[in-house]
């Protein structure tokens, strides 16, 4: 099937192999409290009918529910399912920190405006809370089911009360020797104000009294997980675990000797992560970000998690002290709080409960030891598909050779996120030490990586690298490396563009695309881009092929979607295929709807948030929306335009979100080599035909997982692994034959 064709949409249902969920059917999840009926065909005005657009926050919650569903899927190895539960828990923490935190800031600022889907900040918070509470029991049931299955594999979570006396003594000794010194109790009484509660901390609220006295007092004890203590304490090497907080609760006499322990309850808090100050008023951006990080530590709390049955007085007091609405902002958790800590269990060395390790292969053109610059120059452009093809032997090699090649004069690079011990940074430092001119644009405001990026920036500056922090008021989110080399015919530009970060760890976990190119126009455009990033001056920037945001990209995307609408005919139908992480920008959504009304066939491969509602008669019947959730996090951005047969394909760093298109420096670039275009089209087609990892949205905003027959289990990610290995082996055999032929000629 060609990319210009598409089978009719098919409604998928659960099969007998689908796991039983404790509550709602996870294979038919809803976008809000109840199914959202499609707008009437007579009421399709974009400006007056908010039902045409879905809510960004709720569709993101739907995505996280799809991640959580992976923890229930029996086709996935058990520890991989535990990993998905941990990821879903971590995602939810960040959602409250970033999205709920941001909405609460809007409320505090008196914002009353509505989103394109017709919701005020208050209405969005209410809808999100309803969603979270609705799926809480399902999530708790999933975790209990995982432990039940783990127990069959001799991995157990043991209630402390059921332990033998000798086992309790062993845990007490381990706790006393290795963890107890990290614990600091804090009284809560008139002489001691309510203590500071750190973000994502798990805490014990202890009720005490002196012997033979009636007066109670309270103390707070933080569970020192952030200090390096394990959340799951193991009994020897038995793979039998007890939650650390349960061990602490059973041994409070060590903290409060001679006191009577009346009760112990658990609670956990989440703080707002949105504390950025107005960058344009800062004299020193580095100092501003450092100040913001300090502010984040003390930012307002947005969520309190407690056990069911907590003393109502204690629950009310906690809510009051933390400045929360007890009815709205307090969430009961029946079971384990802080699901992100399940990573400790997911990392157990039990290979039979995990997927086989994935090892990226080398790109076929990079198997030889010849100069990577000669290879790129000969090929013109190389398409890199991560994590199927190696980041180390392509991107890191590109920088490594640039650092040591005597013909290389300079390196320029953007850095948004990178690994803690980054080879990328090492290569840049070596380049500077070898006399190359090295300039790096570091984004200090990459959320949750600010401290790491400050350290890296200081480290690189000490090595003589010219470090800048981008454009005031804009995040630098594009991923570009420019290498300037003195070739035989003059100074030439070699460029790497990527859809993902220069991060060696996520390059093995995220599905991304890169392009190594010798294209002269793209090289000139990259030079223009870096001149803009290091100066902020915008006049008369002349880009030949690159589409940068915020000045150009959105206008061009809208124009190209409109062009698709205009060139569409019955004989030669228009075609749009967009793959991205999120589709939120209202103007882009309206343009897509108009194209669909004209009959253009639209496929949207959107990982998480998506405002578009497919299948509405008279509006979006020709639109299909799918989401792929699998072993690797889908992170690539691809924009395909049929263009009346003169097809165009773009890759880049930008999602179709207002923040990306209007408030960040992003780039899209055309892929023009016919061979590479064919490869990208095949990449998209495999994803559209995926029968294993795809969830498809219907007109009521329900996502349903495709449930194929046993003989039709195509997984796009597994297929890419197979294809990458096949390309690598074929290239290896070809090189071997060429080497043998050369050897035979020499012998003759």
216 is known as an active-site residue: no
Provide the phi-psi class of 458: left if phi over 0, else alpha when psi is between -120 and 50, else beta.
Answer: alpha
Residue 267 CB partners (closer than 8 Å, separation 6+): 202, 203, 205, 304, 305, 306, 307, 310, 318, 337
What's the rounded Cα separation, in Å, for the pair 319 and 589? 40
CA-atom Rg of the chain in angstroms = 28
Of 477, 503, 568, 635, the active-site residue reads 477
What's the rounded Cα separation, in Å, for the pair 653 and 548? 10
At residue 204's C-alpha, the angle toward residues 126 and 91, to 5°, is 40
What's the rounded Cα separation, in Å, for the pair 213 and 201? 32
Whether the Cβ atoms of residue 608 and residue 60 lie closer than 8 Å to each other: yes
Residue 486 CB partners (closer than 8 Å, separation 6+): 407, 408, 409, 492
Give the containing element (helix H, strand E) for 555. helix 553-567
Residue labelled with tokens 């991205």:
580
- Cα torsion angle, 706, 710, 714, 719, sign: positive
Give the containing element (helix H, strand E) for 408. strand 408-415
Residue 456 CB partners (closer than 8 Å, separation 6+): 415, 418, 422, 425, 442
Residue 178 CB partners (closer than 8 Å, separation 6+): 229
What's the rounded Cα separation, in Å, for the pair 452 and 303? 26
SS3 label, residue 540: coil
Q: Which tokens belong to 606?
A: 């959107």
What's the rounded Cα separation, in Å, for the pair 748 and 739? 14
Whether the Cβ atoms of residue 416 and residue 470 lie closer than 8 Å to each other: no
Q: Which long-range contacts (CB under 8 A, 24 or more apart) does 588-593 make?
A: 588/554, 588/557, 588/558, 588/561, 588/656, 588/661, 589/53, 589/116, 590/46, 591/557, 591/558, 591/561, 591/562, 592/561, 592/623, 593/46, 593/52, 593/619, 593/620, 593/623
What's the rounded Cα separation, in Å, for the pair 206 and 261? 7
Give the containing element (helix H, strand E) for 264. strand 260-271
Residue 643 CB partners (closer than 8 Å, separation 6+): 560, 563, 564, 567
Task: Name the residues annotated as catalytic.
Answer: 477
């Amino acid at each position: 099937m060609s990319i210009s064709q598409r089978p009719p949409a098919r409604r998928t249902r659960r099969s007998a192999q689908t796991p039983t969920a404790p509550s709602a059917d996870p294979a038919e999840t809803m976008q809000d409290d109840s199914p959202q009926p499609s707008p009437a065909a007579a009421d399709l005005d974009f400006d007056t009918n908010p039902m045409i657009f879905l809510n960004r926050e709720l569709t993101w919650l739907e995505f996280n529910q799809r991640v959580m569903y992976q923890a229930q899927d029996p086709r996935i190895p058990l520890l991989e399912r535990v990993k998905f539960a941990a990821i879903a828990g971590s995602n939810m923490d960040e959602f409250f920190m970033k999205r709920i935190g941001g909405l609460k800031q809007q409320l505090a600022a008196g914002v009353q405006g509505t989103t394109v889907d017709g919701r005020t900040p208050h209405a969005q918070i209410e809808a999100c809370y309803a969603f979270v509470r609705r799926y809480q029991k399902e999530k708790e049931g999933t975790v209990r089911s995982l432990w039940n299955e783990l127990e069959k594999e001799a991995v157990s979570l043991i209630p402390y009360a059921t332990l033998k006396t000798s086992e309790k003594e062993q845990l007490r000794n381990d706790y006393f020797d290795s963890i107890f010194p990290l614990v600091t109790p804090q009284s809560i009484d008139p002489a001691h104000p309510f203590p500071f509660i750190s973000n994502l901390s798990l805490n014990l609220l202890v009720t005490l009294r002196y012997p033979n006295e009636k007066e109670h007092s309270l103390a707070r004890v933080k569970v020192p997980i952030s200090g390096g203590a394990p959340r799951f304490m193991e009994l020897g090497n038995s793979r039998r675990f007890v939650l650390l907080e349960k061990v602490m609760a059973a041994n409070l006499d060590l903290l409060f000797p001679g006191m009577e322990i009346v009760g112990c309850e658990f609670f956990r808090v989440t703080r707002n992560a949105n504390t950025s100050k107005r960058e344009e008023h800062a004299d020193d951006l580095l100092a501003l970000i450092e100040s913001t990080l300090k502010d984040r530590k003390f930012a307002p709390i947005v969520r309190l998690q407690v056990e069911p049955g907590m003393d109502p007085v204690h629950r009310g007091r906690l809510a009051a002290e933390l400045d929360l609405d007890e009815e709205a902002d307090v969430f009961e958790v029946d079971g384990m709080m802080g699901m992100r800590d399940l990573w400790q269990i997911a990392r157990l060395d039990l290979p039979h409960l995990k997927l086989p390790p994935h090892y990226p292969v080398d790109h076929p053109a990079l198997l030889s030891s010849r100069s990577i610059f000669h290879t790129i120059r000969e090929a013109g452009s190389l398409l890199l598909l991560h994590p199927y093809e190696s980041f180390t032997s392509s991107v890191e090699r590109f920088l490594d050779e640039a650092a040591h090649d005597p013909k290389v004069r300079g390196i320029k690079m953007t850095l948004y996120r990178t690994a803690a011990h980054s080879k990328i940074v090492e290569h840049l430092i070596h380049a500077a030490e070898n006399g190359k001119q090295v300039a790096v644009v570091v984004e200090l405001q990459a959320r949750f990586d600010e401290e790491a990026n400050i350290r890296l920036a200081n480290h690189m500056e000490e090595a003589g690298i010219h470090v800048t922090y981008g454009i005031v008021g804009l995040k630098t989110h594009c991923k570009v490396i420019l290498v300037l080399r003195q070739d035989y015919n003059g100074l030439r530009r070699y460029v790497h563009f990527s859809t993902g970060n220069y991060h060696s760890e996520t390059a093995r976990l995220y599905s991304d695309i890169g392009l190594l190119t010798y294209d002269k126009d793209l090289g000139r455009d990259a030079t223009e881009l870096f001149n803009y990033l290091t100066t902020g001056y915008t006049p008369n920037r002349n880009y030949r092929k690159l589409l940068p945001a915020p000045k150009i990209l959105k206008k061009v995307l809208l124009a190209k979607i409109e062009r698709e609408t205009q060139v569409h005919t019955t004989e030669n139908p228009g075609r749009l295929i967009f793959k991205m992480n999120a589709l939120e920008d209202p103007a882009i959504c309206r343009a897509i709807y108009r194209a669909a009304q004209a009959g253009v066939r639209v496929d949207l491969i959107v990982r998480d948030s998506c405002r578009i509602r497919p299948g509405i008669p008279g509006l979006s019947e020709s639109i299909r929306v799918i989401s792929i959730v699998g072993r690797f996090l889908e992170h690539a951005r691809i924009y395909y335009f049929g263009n009346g047969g003169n097809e165009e394909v773009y890759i880049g760093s930008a999602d179709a979100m207002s923040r990306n298109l209007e408030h960040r420096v992003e780039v899209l670039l055309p892929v023009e080599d016919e061979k590479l275009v064919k490869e990208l089209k095949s990449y998209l087609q495999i994803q559209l035909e995926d029968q294993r990892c795809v969830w498809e949205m219907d007109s009521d905003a329900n996502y349903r997982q495709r449930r194929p027959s046993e003989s039709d289990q195509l997984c796009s990610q597994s297929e890419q692994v197979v294809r990458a290995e096949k390309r690598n082996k074929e290239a290896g055999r070809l090189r071997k034959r060429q080497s043998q032929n050369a050897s035979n000629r020499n012998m003759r």
